[in-house]
Amino acid sequence: MVKKPSKPKHIPHRTCVGCREVQPKRTLIRIVRGPNGVEVDLTGKKPGRGAYIHNQQSCWEYALKGSLAKALKVQLTAEEQEQLLAFAKSLPQ
């Protein structure tokens, strides 16, 4: 009996809402609009609508100008923007 070659494992890809570059899902940070509002989801498992951003400040700055709110279909509050901006400051340039 001849053994079939195994299929390569499927790797999900997502688009960064900052720079619009497609990357494997695990290399991006998920932002989720859930029952507690908009927050960073480092586990990638929180319930709610999600959007993905690279771990670079430039992508976060661009995304916070409007494309993140559009992707999450929500108007970001000043408090949520401040919280996301504070997280972005801890990321590399």
Domains and CATH numbers, the chain: 13-89 (3.30.1230.10)
> Distance between CA 5 and CA 50 in Å, rounded?
35
What is the mean predicted confidence (pLDDT) over 39-43?
94
Cβ contacts of 71 within 8 Å, gap of 6 or more: 17, 51
pTM confidence score? 0.88
**CA nearest 15: which of 70, 86, 74?**
70
**In this structure, what are the phi and psi dihedrals at residue 6, rounded to the nearest 5 degrees?**
-70, 145
Percentage of the chain modeled with pLDDT above 70: 100
